[in-house]
Structure 1
Amino acid sequence: MKRLGIDMGSREVKIVLMDKDSIIHKQKISTMAFYKNYCSYNNGKLKVDVSRLGISEEVVAVSTGYGRNNTDISMFRQITEIKAHVYGAIHQTNLKEFILLDVGGQDVKVVKVEKGLITDLEMNDKCAASCGRYLENMAGVLEISLEKLTEYYEAPVELNSTCSVFSESELIGKIAEGVSMERLCAGVNYSLYRKLRPLLFKFKGKRLVMSGGVAKSKSLAYYLANDFDEIIKLQEPQFNGAIGCCSYGSFF
């Protein structure tokens, strides 16, 4: 039977349909559009109409993310984001020993995996300064695309603010001082790295697997290469949670 995985994130919903071990369909939908166009409410639960996703056959359905507990429990099994992302990383890499770094829009997850099992984890969902939203906000201040922002890593300007809101003011001050765009972007990226580093160094490991949208960051991988022997970027970092749901669904 085919497996449907849905990662209901704070900003986007990621959907993956797998047949055996192959992805046959994937898509991203904004969370608001997903709720409005693909769901209905029934007794306080969010019921996903999979037919609107173009799925007419019976599937094993598993969900994760912020909205997993609101989905129709008669159809979806729910698993934690940690479990989903670990299952996804194992599926995509075939590795059983690694540190997983998942930088989402509103939280950061660092998970130690040994022999395919979760042995330790650390999360930060209290401060936006170490999350993807921080980069989005700073890209907005600099009036540059997020993709372009994350390319720069050389000669970063020093940004000392630990708060996302104050960082924006500090960045504007650096702009007024005439600091180059390249150094400003590098400074933003290095600032994110400095905030992530304490979380990562609570665990010992030589191999780091990067998941989530920030896994595409060239600059973050560059900085992290000084701390790990091997940096692995998943082929589908943004769909990793949904892939993990499908992988978990193979047990049913």
Structure 2
Amino acid sequence: MNKEYHIGIDIGSTCAKLAVLDGNQNLIFKSVQPTGWSSVDTAESIRQKLLDEGIDVEQASCVATGYGRISVPYADKMITEITCHARGAMWLHGGSELVVIDIGGQDTKIIRIEDGRVKDFVMNDKCSAGTGRFLEVMANTMALRPDEICELARQGGGTAISSMCTVFAESEVISLIGQGEKKENIAFAVVESIVNKVVSQSSRLDVRGAAICLTGGLCECAYLRENLSEKLGCEVQAKPEGRFAGAVGAALSL
């Protein structure tokens, strides 16, 4: 093993993502796992996972990002999520003029990139509305998986959740269930609430003239992406590897 291999570790609030690039910037290994209660334990688990793949962190370059970046003792350096998500998105989508919408577990980041550099960003970090955590809470309330809510939402309509607060929104969902509202209609309201929150955030940035891409754990939710595209008035792109944008961007930062 030599330093031609670059490791990016993105320890987020919900999930930890790992990406390994070779010397030609090819993604040769990736993985995702729950962060759990201890980022230190998660970092050690990732170290062991790399060893199982024949990758010794002591013989490779490593950059950590995300909420738990300070808990990766073997990282050569730490870089903020904004920088890493921007670099990862440019690598994934092959452009230097982008608006990146990253829907994470506890926050949503919207990043404007011009000429390959971060020009501006907005971040929702004080409320879980419009995030993966919001979807997870609603899914648990409805005894569904998050991906099942997204698929059901396509079949629903005619129902709305008025509160942007996760706690009050959950109460609304419980009330709708008690009233006998169809599951697909409640699912529609949940996804609509997330999309509306993201669109509202996007209005705080100038997104004109740039390609828009979706990263984060919800990037593979086709219905959410389609809904977001309709409300923003342009196609929102997504790649299967989109949830690894932060980790890839970290690996590219060496």
TM-score by length of 2: 0.88
Structure 1 residue aligned with 2:133: 133
* Residue 174 (str. 1) matches residue 176 (str. 2): yes
Partner Cα distance (1:27, 1:236) in 2: 10
SS at match of 2:240: coil
Write the letter of the residue equivalent to 1:183: N
Match of 1:122, SS? strand
Superimposed CA distance per residue, residues 171-226 of structure 1 (whole angstroms, 9 cap, x where no aligned partner): 11111222111111000000111111111112232521100011122232122222
Number of aligned pairs?
A: 242
Closer, same or farther in 2 for the Cα pair 1:100/1:156, shift >3 Å?
farther
Ranges in structure 2 where 5+ consecutive residues have no aligned partner: none
Q: Per-residue deviation at 1:28?
A: 1.6
1:223 aligns with: 227
* 1:70-149 equivalence runs, <5 A: 70-72=71-73, 75-149=75-149
Distance 1:140 1:10, change over 3 A: same
Residue in structure 2 matched with residue 28 of structure 1 by the alignment: 32
Flag structure 1 segments of 5+ consecutive residues without an equivalent.
41-46
Match of 2:100, SS state, is strand
Pair 1:145–1:164, CA change in 2 (3 A): same
Tell me the distance in 2 between the aligned counterparts of 1:222 and 1:30: 27
Aligned with 1:183 (options 182, 185, 192): 185
- Whether the aligned pair in 2 keeps the contact of 1:156 and 1:185 (CA below 8 Å) is no
- Aligned in 2, Cα 1:75/1:214: closer, same or farther, shift over 3 Å? closer
| 1:44 matched residue in structure 2 | none
Distance 1:179 1:159 in 2: 13
RMSD: 2.2
**What's the TM-score once normalised by structure 1's chain length?**
0.88
- Structure in which a larger fraction of residues adopt strand: 1
8 Å CA contact retained: 1:186, 1:219: no
Distance 2:76 2:13 in 1: 19
Distance between the aligned counterparts of 1:79 and 1:211, measured in 2?
18
In the alignment, the residues of structure 2 paired with residue 184 and residue 193 of structure 1 have an alpha-carbon distance, to the nearest angstrom, of 14
Contact 2:226 2:236 in 1 (8 A): no
- Identical-pair percentage: 31
- Alpha-carbon distance between aligned partners in 2 of 1:138 and 1:37, rounded to the nearest angstrom: 26
Over 3 Å counting, the alpha-carbon distance change for 1:78 and 1:135 in structure 2 is same
Deviations 1:115-150 (A, max 9, x none): 111111000110011211000000011111111101
CA distance in 2: counterparts of 1:210 and 1:136, whole angstroms: 18
Mapped partners of 1:173, 1:29: distance in 2: 33
